[in-house]
Amino acid sequence: MIVPRGKPVHENLSTSYVNVAALLADLQVNEFTGYVSVEFWGYTGYVFLSRGQIVNAYEVTENGIQREREALEGLLSRAQARNGKVGFFQHPEEVIQAITGVITGEAVHRNLSSDFTNLDKLVEKLTKTGGTWYVEVSFEQEQGGGIIYILDHRAEAVVSVTSSSVEPHQTAFGAEGLKLLYERVTGGAVFNVYRGAAAAPSSLATLKPPPVPRTEATPVGPAAAARSEPLLVEEAPPTIRAPQVSSLLPETPVVDTALVGDGDDDSPLELEEDESIRPLTREQYAELVSLMGEIVRAIEVSVADALRRTDFFLPSFREALIHMATHYPFLDPFAAEFEYAGGVATFRGKARPADFVVGLSQALRLTVADLDRRSPENHLRRHVEEALRSLCQRRYAEFERYGLEIAMNEILAFSAG
């Protein structure tokens, strides 16, 4: 099946860190339209969403093809393994309708060749016939393809092409998509024709992922009244898992002992079924907090350097922490669990290490995006990226030990938008 590439929100994330069930739950809450992809060697799976509703799923395994509920359950099960890739991509609603229309449509013609079938005339005939039709097009001479969707006697298309040029991914929609697709089929293509029902994805039988347990506390106190409007409209962050950590480092603990291993025993921790989600020792968590503090400090210094002002970063960072406290209450400045002052971070709250990293990274991303939006002429993003790359090089071993490249990617994700 052809899934034309959408606009990437995040891609090439590792299943070792991303909880895909939690990601889908967050995308539903945020009324996301697009798809989530999961890839392993010999496996590809997709979940398609329209306005936050999961409207279909599709997976190709070593044993064949699954659709709908079976595909969704298979994808969620497979995504718990390590070393896979996760991405999620935006698409217009009509494109998601076209993709799901191919999945559920009735196959009328398969493997028609452009050598014997004129695509223009085929589409013209289907358009005159009326009803809902989908034509899936696979290119023979290059990677990519598209879907022509014919509704109410009108034909449009979505097409994506992958090449090795400066712009490796080209995607077009609507009339422009149809024009580009007609141009590309001259190099050879294969067509599949499906008859579909003229129903929007939101009217299809929706699928729901298994519930994701959440232990977030309800914010109380002054912070609840002090919340400001969001700095940016952001998708809720995926939940990542802390990587396996083997060394025990002599740092002063600054975290709640309920979330760490026995500090009196320096032997390796007893692993859970998935060793990637075992708890850190107090010493390890302390170093993780310290490293995240260094990231905050690097951004603070780079902001001051770019804006030539030292009084901009902390107010914006505080607003971002208040905003992110909706998802991560331990970041609430009024709760005083997480504190940053004088270039040093401390944390005396209750949170999984992975949630601490993701929540703080999201807050930093909001902070940088907010400041950059206010002063675009100062090239703030470039300063921040250079500072973080330099810090990562200096502390490479520690960053690799705790998987903090995920945090770096999350903070710098704004530069891909």
DSSP helix/strand/coil, 198: coil
- Ramachandran sector of residue 227 (left: φ over 0; alpha: ψ -120 to 50; beta: rest): beta
What whole-number distance in Å separates Cα of residue 286 and Cα of residue 284? 5
More confident residue, 257 or 321: 321
User: Which distant-in-sequence residues (6+ apart) come within 8 Å of 108 by Cβ?
Assistant: 193, 194, 195
In whole angstroms, what is the distance from residue 406 CA to residue 401 CA? 12
Give me the pLDDT at residue 297, please.
93
Range scoring the smallest mean pLDDT among 60-69, 161-170, 404-413: 161-170
> Does the pLDDT at position 164 exceed 60?
no
CA distance 314 to 138: 52
Taking residues 337-363, what's their average pLDDT? 86
Is residue 223 within 8 Å of 335, Cβ to Cβ? yes
Contact at 8 Å (CB) between 11 and 87?
yes
Closest Cα partner for 338 from 355, 192, 368?
355
Please measure the distance between the N-terminal and C-terminal CA atoms of the chain and give it in whole angstroms: 28
- In Å, what is the CA distance from 313 to each residue of 19, 140, 190, 387, 417? 31, 52, 55, 15, 22
Tell me the pLDDT of the chain averaged across its residues.
77
Contact (CB, 8 A) for 90 and 7: yes
| Structure-token pair, residue 39 | 């890839």
Residues in the chain: 417
The pLDDT tens digits of the residues spanning 197-209 come to: 645 444 334 455 5
Q: Rounded mean pLDDT of 340-353?
A: 85
Task: Give the C-alpha distances (Å, rounded to integers) separating 10 from 14, 21, 235, 380.
Answer: 11, 16, 10, 21
CA pair distance 40, 83, nearest whole angstrom? 7
Whether the predicted model's global pTM rises above the 0.95 cut: no
Residue with token string 């490249």: 405
Tokens, residue 184: 């590309």
CA atoms of 231 and 372, how far apart (whole Å): 12
What one-character-per-residue DSSP string does 322-377 give?
HHHTTT-GGG-TTTTSEEEETTEEEE-S---HHHHHHHHHHHHHHHHHHHHHH-GG
Element (H, E) at 224: helix 222-226
Higher-confidence residue: 248 or 100? 100
Residue 235: per-residue pLDDT:
37
- Token digits for 132? 């809902």
**For the segment 95-132, what is each residue's pLDDT rounded down to a tens digit?**
999 999 999 898 899 889 888 888 989 999 999 988 89
pLDDT band (50, 70, 90) for residue 230: very low
What confidence category does residue 215 fall into, taking pLDDT thresholds of 50, 70 and 90?
Answer: very low
Give the pLDDT confidence score for residue 156 in this predicted structure.
92
Three-state SS for 89? strand
Element (DSSP H or E) covering residue 10: strand 7-14
Least Cα distance to 35 among 95, 81, 83, 101 occurs for 95
Dump the DSSP string for 263-319. TT--SPPPP-SSGGGPPBPHHHHHHHHHHHHHHHHHHHHHHHHHHT-SSSHHHHHHH
**Does residue 25 carry a pLDDT above 60?**
yes
DSSP assignment of 22-81, as one string? Answer: HHHHHHHHTT--EEEEEEETTEEEEEEEETTEEEEEEEEETTEEEEHHHHHHHHHHHTTS
Q: Band the pLDDT of 284: cuts 50, 70, 90.
A: confident
